[in-house]
């Protein structure tokens, strides 16, 4: 299992990250769900294979047509049934990038098969489902990580650091918006958008980020929402927008505005920002527009969130991706490498978004939906 991969060019960066007690550890990963976002998982593990850190050992993809494409493009075994992959493929860990409401059973089965697990956000769309996954991973003694990648954005990391240092004083309030263009629910996945919502698909990112930055859990949630435009105009029966006010135990109050109805002509697929005000300071981060813009004939203005994914070519001419969208997935492989090299789950505790983080975030999203449906303030603590 352990060994050096002499055929792979190992970069100084990956040596630093994976030379654990003098042993190089290749991590064997299987990806479950190879749709629009699963591609980022495939690419992350493919590029880690260039330095011998990980191998994309197998994929499970339920759509036969998509499975065939992935087989051709990535050259690894692709299973239509993830259970067959769990049974037959030699894997240390799996990552799960199936639709929001289809994470739980796959994660439980993966834990029962003894695999370390990275789950796309949200961990599950019920608190009970999150508990079931957490328990299954606990019973199996495996890593359970959730892909809350906003924590890996260097601007957000700086925010967390400076808030933790006390530079901003006591955090009083803040606000967040995260919005997608309308093509996301209408063109990308109209079949499962009704099982999701802007809170599940987008809000969870910032629910997690704010908890992580201010180191506090929510006390109450009050939310309103609109559910008419997507349903009446496009036949996609889901929330258009959700606006949630969350009061935290430390007294901070945050507004979260999330929607997926921005016009197709908007300058990027995602629009997002966070603003925090404390007794000693204020910080505003445009988490989308990083200062790079373009406009070409026939297209409107475009901005690029280069902190998320920047496509590059490595010195051997291979396409690689850098940014927090890749790093949060790669971090899972590094964690599994550390575990394979003798570190324990306790050693890693607090260094990655955990199953418990996933559950607390789901608690907020469930409360937001409950609040919209009942018109009540939902007390969490
Ligand atoms: N981290 C982020 O910023 C980010 C961004 C987009 C999506 N996501 C998350 O990634 C997940 C997937 O989203 P997407 O946009 O890629 O959706 P998608 O519909 O494009 O892809 C989902 C894929 O899963 C496959 N699938 C479904 N059930 C399966 C099963 N049982 N076994 C194997 N494959 C199965 C489908 O065939 C499809 O190819 C969602 O949970 C979403 O919230 C995260």
pLDDT tens digits, 2-47:
232 222 333 334 444 444 554 556 899 999 999 999 999 999 999 9
Closest residue by Cα to residue 255 from 277, 234, 239, 270: 277
Same domain, 110 and 215: no
Based on the fold, state whether residues 46 and 166 are members of the same structural domain: no
Residue to probe by mutation, ligand 1, list 30, 31, 33, 189, most atoms within 8 Å of CB: 33
- Calculate mean pLDDT across residues 207-236: 98
The span from the CA of 278 to the CA of 28, in Å, is 44
CA of 221 to the centre of ligand 1 (A): 28
The mean pLDDT value of the chain amounts to 94
Global pTM reads 0.93
Please check whether residue 355 lies inside any domain of the structure: no
**CA 125–ligand 1 middle distance (angstroms):** 14
Cβ–Cβ < 8 Å for 262, 279: no
pLDDT of residue 381: 87
Give the three-state DSSP class for 341: coil
Q: Which of 97, 189, 307, 327 to mutate to test the pocket of ligand 1 (most atoms within 8 A of CB)?
A: 97
Structural domain of residue 268, as residue ranges? 155-306+362-379
Determine the average pLDDT of the residues in 77-100. 98
- Does residue 93 sit in the same domain as residue 167? no
Quick one: which atom of ligand 1 is closest to the CA of 200? Answer: 43
Q: Has residue 357 been placed in a domain?
A: no
10 C-alpha vs ligand 1 centroid, how far in Å?
31
Please state the rounded mean pLDDT for residues 134-156: 98
In a domain, 89, yes or no: yes
199 lies in the same domain as 319? no
pLDDT recorded at residue 225: 98
CB of 79 within 6 A of ligand 1: the answer is no
From the CB of 102, is ligand 1 less than 6 Å away? Answer: yes
H helix intervals, the chain:
12-18, 38-49, 64-74, 82-88, 104-112, 127-140, 154-164, 183, 198, 204-214, 229-234, 324-340, 345-348, 355-374
Distance 149 CA to ligand 1 centre (A): 16
Q: What is the pLDDT of residue 21?
A: 52
Task: Tell how far the Cα of 317 is from the centroid of ligand 1, in angstroms.
Answer: 29
Co-location of 197 and 290 in the same domain: yes
Residue 4 lies in a domain: no
d(CA 284, CA 277) in angstroms, rounded, equals 9
* Whether residue 62 has its Cβ less than 6 Å from ligand 1: yes
The sign of the torsion formed by the CA atoms of 88, 94, 99, 105 equals positive
């Amino acid at each position: 299992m352990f060994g050096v991969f002499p055929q792979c060019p190992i970069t100084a960066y990956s040596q630093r990250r994976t030379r654990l007690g003098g042993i190089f550890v290749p991590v064997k990963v299987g990806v479950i769900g190879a749709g629009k976002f699963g591609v980022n998982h495939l690419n992350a593990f493919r590029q880690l294979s260039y330095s011998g850190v990980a191998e994309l050992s197998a994929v499970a993809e339920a759509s036969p047509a998509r499975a065939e494409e992935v087989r051709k493009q990535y050259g690894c075994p692709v299973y239509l049934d993830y259970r067959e992959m769990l049974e037959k493929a030699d894997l240390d860990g799996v990552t799960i990038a199936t639709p929001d409401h289809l994470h739980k059973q796959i994660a439980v089965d993966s834990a029962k098969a003894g695999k370390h697990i990275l789950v796309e956000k949200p961990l599950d769309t019920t608190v009970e489902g999150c508990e079931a996954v957490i328990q299954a991973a606990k019973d199996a003694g495996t890593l359970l990580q959730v892909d809350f990648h906003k924590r890996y954005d260097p601007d957000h990391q700086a925010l967390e650091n400076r808030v933790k240092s006390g530079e901003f004083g006591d955090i009083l309030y803040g606000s967040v918006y995260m919005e997608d263009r309308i093509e996301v629910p209408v063109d990308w996945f109209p079949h499962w958008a009704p099982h999701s919502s802007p809170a599940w698909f987008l809000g969870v990112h910032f629910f997690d980020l704010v908890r992580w930055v201010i180191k506090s859990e929510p006390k109450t949630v009050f939310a309103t929402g609109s559910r008419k435009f997507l349903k009446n105009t496009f036949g996609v029966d889901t929330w258009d927008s959700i606006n949630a006010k969350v009061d935290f135990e430390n007294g901070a109050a945050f507004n979260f505005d999330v929607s997926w109805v921005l016009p197709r002509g908007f300058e990027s697929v995602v629009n997002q920002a966070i603003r925090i005000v404390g007794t000693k300071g204020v910080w505003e981060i445009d988490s989308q527009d990083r200062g790079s813009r373009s406009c070409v004939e026939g297209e409107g203005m475009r901005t690029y969130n280069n902190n998320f994914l920047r496509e590059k070519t490595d010195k051997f001419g291979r396409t690689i991706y850098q940014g927090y969208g890749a790093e949060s997935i790669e971090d899972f492989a590094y964690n599994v490498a550390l575990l394979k090299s003798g570190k324990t789950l306790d050693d890693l505790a607090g260094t990655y978004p955990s199953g418990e983080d996933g559950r607390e975030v789901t608690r907020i999203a469930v409360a937001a939906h409950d609040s919209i449906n009942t018109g009540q303030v939902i007390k969490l603590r």
